[in-house]
Amino acid sequence: MTAPQNDTSPVAPPAGDPRWADLADEALILAREIQFRGYRDPDAVPLTQSEGMVMRYLQDHAGTAPSQIADATGLQRANISAVLRGLERKGLTERRSTPGDLRRATIHPTEHGKRNYALVRQEWAAAVSAAADHDTAGLNEALELLHKITTSLTDSRPLAPGRPAALM
C-alpha cells in the first residue's frame, strides 16, 4: 500500500531523492542570510524572526487577538506578549481595547508598521534579485513550489515545536 500523495509526515524522501533535504537546507540558509545582512535604508526597523512573523501575519489580519496571532504564527502563547511589547515599543503595532469588553484587546499594525513592512520587503527583494543576477527564469515556478510547501507545512504544524503530532 502506498502513502497518500499529500501526506506531510516526516518520512524518507521519495525514492531517496536528497534534493528535498537540499531544498530545506537552502531555504534555511536563504532566510538566515536575508536576515543577517540587515537593511541599507536607515528608516528600516530591524525585527527579530518572531517579530517579523507577527508583522507578516498582521498585514492581512489587523485587529486580531494575541492568542489568535500566537496560533497562526506558531509562536508560544507565553512568548507572544513579549513579542507584541517589542513591536509596540518600536511603534509598529498598537493594542486596542475590544468594544464591549475592555479586558480583551486586538492588535493592529500602525501606519509606521505598514510602511516598515513594505520597506523591508523591498530590501529583501533587492538582495535576493541581485544574488540571482536578476534572472527571473523559473521564478514563478519557484514561488508556486515554495508557496505549496509553506502552506502544507503551516497547515500540518505540530502542536508543540519540534514534535510531530503523531509523537505527542
CATH architecture, domain 44-150: Orthogonal Bundle (1.10)
List, for residues 103-115, the tens digit of each pLDDT value. Answer: 789 999 999 999 9
Concatenate the DSSP letters of all residues of 24-60 into one string: HHHHHHHHHHHHHH--SSTTPPP--HHHHHHHHHHHH
CA max distance for the chain? 57
Ramachandran angles phi, psi of 59, nearest 5°: -60, -35
DSSP assigned state of 64 = B
Q: Work out whether the CA dihedral 40, 49, 23, 141 comes out positive or negative.
A: negative
Query: What single letter denotes the amino acid at residue 1?
Result: M
Q: Where are the domains of the chain?
A: 44-150
- 94: cell is 498598537
Residue 139 is predicted with a pLDDT of 96
pLDDT at 165: 56
